Structure 1
Amino acid sequence: MKKLISLCIFLVGWQCLLASQPKNIMLILGSADPVVLQDRMDVAMRLYSMQKFDRIIVSGGCAAHGSSICEASFMHDALTRNGVPQNVIYKEENSKTTVQNYVFSRKIKEADGSPVMAPGDTVYVVSNHWHAISVAARLRKYDRVEAKFFIEGSIEPKASDKLDYVSIFNGEPDNDRFIMKGTWLTPDAVWEKADSIYYLTGSLVYVTDRLNSRFSYYTRSKFFPELDAYAANKELRFIDAGKQWYVSNGEKLLYVDKQSRKVQRIFTLAELIPNLPAAWLNRLKAGAVYGDKLLLFSDAGMLVAHKKSRVFLAGEETSPADYFAGWPYGWGRGNVSALRLDSAKQKVYIYRNQEYLELDAKLKIVEEPRSLRLKWIDDLK
């Protein structure tokens, strides 16, 4: 028995050691130009032929700069055609700028919710353009990875071009501020009161009128004094339920009254949806309760649950493009950050990466996405 216990302890320890080993990761930066993107894939394949990679992140969204391609999907398909196993490729499909390549790629997660890119890993930033240098430098300084850049190709810089592309490395030393500016404004929750609109993004609440002619900002704790305890090292995900929000931190689900903004109940997402697929505990990005339906969104798709008594039962897993007629091509497979219900007008608003969609009472898209690029807070403390 003692030998068996010793063997078990040894095996568990060995598994932990393997799990903690630093990974070799390749981060390939996208381009809206198919010819340039193919050049970058050629560069990536040459690097792939030289050494082993545990993970490959392909970073680029759909229809950037008016293009007709989804960059991450283009790169994923090019890699698999050349023999790269699909299980090592992770698609980041939200970014439309180099800054966003950095911002969104660093947050890509494994199926269990752990980060793909962790401190101590070695990350090769790949491109045919020197912006890879700036991204690698920022990853090394602010994300504690051993970052390198791998650039090949014919590069003829203009006199105005800078080695630190768009000041990615030296332009903003506060990384939280840099990340926020790169995604301004991509809210986690949105609500209205009188003639003001409130946008929660991270630990900041931005308040403005409908025309954004004036604004003010506050810390999240001013409006949600009870949420900070649940947000430590975790991201809060909001499900708009009309007069309340369900707020998930991946472990607990909080039932928060919109009027008082106080936590009324603490339970779990699995209690709300008893047959919830386990993977959705870590996939959830945003959601809304609309009538007898609960719509949940992830990076890669959506889940529709149906009300039964006091709970919801998970139904079909689908994609926004299949569920909503006229889903914008530029919005890819999802990456929704927030939903807002307007019960008085019987409308639903969906937010994603500096844009939003308006849906009518039948969940039909009213028009093309609108810009949500609000004034930046110059004196943000």
Structure 2
Amino acid sequence: MRSKKRQRLRWILRLGILGFVLLAIWTVYVQWKIQAAQFGETKAADVGIVLGAALWNDKPSPGLRERLDHALALYEQGKYPRLIVSGGLDGNSSKLTEAEGMKNYLVEKGVPAESIFLENEATSTYENLLFSQKIMEQNGWRSAVIVTHHYHGARAKDIAAFIGMREADVDTADSRVMNMTWHNARETLAYTKWEVDKLLMRVGLR
């Protein structure tokens, strides 16, 4: 009996070590994909898509302002003549959707209100891009520049390819205000969840 119990414990220990090693390998792989992502030169497009992030008291958080300022710089460079701002209510007691807060910020910076299109429903990066793609289709726009932070760019690019956005570049901002240790760790989990979701959608289970 003792021999069988010891053998069982050895197998449990081996499986635990194997699981830890596989988790470590996966974490390193995902972080490599995130940090090494290359997006190439951004071509002029029909529309820019700014992916949402948190509002603070109905104003863009410092991190979201970085995305918006980057999107604004591209707009002023003539990379696109209009923008879609994407994001719904983020559940932190804001009265405005992320999209509404982003539009207000860009209008204050001088972008004409009629050049900004709201996507008010998305609660994930997948929905950001899927719902923005529908706005593009409704308006006959074919090409887009997706604007986000660098740590988020690899997942955004993969999602865009998955949903069939064939003419979509990703242009990213580096952050000087966000806690990147926390955001990189969170993105590892988010990227893992996306890979699972993608697999489930491919086999028809989601």
Q: If the TM-score is normalised by the length of the shorter chain, which range does it land in?
A: 0.5 to 0.7
Partner of 1:143: 164
CA distance in 1 between partners of 2:189 and 2:45 (Å):
27
CA distance in 1 between partners of 2:133 and 2:113 (Å):
20
The correspondence for 2:78, drawn from 44, 47, 51, is 51
Alignment of 1:16-27 (within 5 A): 23-27=45-49
The correspondence for 2:195, drawn from 170, 184, 193, is 170
User: 5+ residue gaps in structure 2?
Assistant: 1-43
Task: Kindly state the Cα deviation for residue 166 of structure 1 after the two structures are TM-superposed.
Answer: 3.2
CA distance in 1 between partners of 2:193 and 2:50 (Å):
17
Alignment of 1:189-268 (within 5 A): none
More helix by share: 2
Partner of 1:41: 68
**Does the alignment pair 1:94 with 2:115?**
no
State the superposition RMSD in angstroms: 3.2
Task: Kindly state the Cα deviation for residue 125 of structure 1 after the two structures are TM-superposed.
Answer: 1.3
CA distance in 2 between partners of 1:164 and 1:117 (Å):
33
**Does the alignment pair 1:160 with 2:185?**
yes
Task: Kindly state the Cα deviation for residue 116 of structure 1 after the two structures are TM-superposed.
Answer: 4.9
User: 5+ residue gaps in structure 1?
Assistant: 1-21, 179-377
SS at match of 2:159: helix
SS at match of 1:45: helix
Task: Kindly state the Cα deviation for residue 115 of structure 1 after the two structures are TM-superposed.
Answer: 4.5
Task: Kindly state the Cα deviation for residue 141 of structure 1 after the two structures are TM-superposed.
Answer: 4.3
Task: Kindly state the Cα deviation for residue 59 of structure 1 after the two structures are TM-superposed.
Answer: 0.2
Task: Kindly state the Cα deviation for residue 168 of structure 1 after the two structures are TM-superposed.
Answer: 6.8
Q: 1:308-339 CA distances to partner (integer Å, 9 max, x unpaired)?
A: xxxxxxxxxxxxxxxxxxxxxxxxxxxxxxxx
After TM superposition, the score normalised by the length of structure 2 is 0.60
Letter in structure 2 aligned against 1:132: G
SS at match of 2:123: coil
Indicate conservation of the 8 Å contact 1:58/1:76, yes or no: yes
Partner of 1:127: 148
More strand by share: 1
SS at match of 2:111: coil
Change (3 A) 1:168 1:84: farther
Indicate conservation of the 8 Å contact 1:27/1:125, yes or no: yes
Partner of 1:66: 92
Indicate conservation of the 8 Å contact 2:51/2:128, yes or no: yes
After TM superposition, the score normalised by the length of structure 1 is 0.35
Indicate conservation of the 8 Å contact 1:131/1:165, yes or no: no
Partner of 1:206: none
Indicate conservation of the 8 Å contact 1:59/1:93, yes or no: yes
Q: 1:103-146 CA distances to partner (integer Å, 9 max, x unpaired)?
A: 32121157xxx34543xx2x221123522331223223432422
Alignment of 1:72-111 (within 5 A): 72-108=99-135
Q: 1:280-325 CA distances to partner (integer Å, 9 max, x unpaired)?
A: xxxxxxxxxxxxxxxxxxxxxxxxxxxxxxxxxxxxxxxxxxxxxx
- Higher-Rg structure is 1
Indicate conservation of the 8 Å contact 1:108/1:115, yes or no: yes
CA distance in 2 between partners of 1:25 and 1:174 (Å):
29
Aligned residues: 153
Indicate conservation of the 8 Å contact 1:130/1:163, yes or no: no
CA distance in 1 between partners of 2:93 and 2:149 (Å):
19
Indicate conservation of the 8 Å contact 2:50/2:86, yes or no: yes
- Of structures 1 and 2, the one with the larger relative CO (CA 8 A, separation 6+) is 2
Aligned residues with identical type, % of pairs = 27
Task: Kindly state the Cα deviation for residue 56 of structure 1 after the two structures are TM-superposed.
Answer: 0.9
Letter in structure 2 aligned against 1:29: L
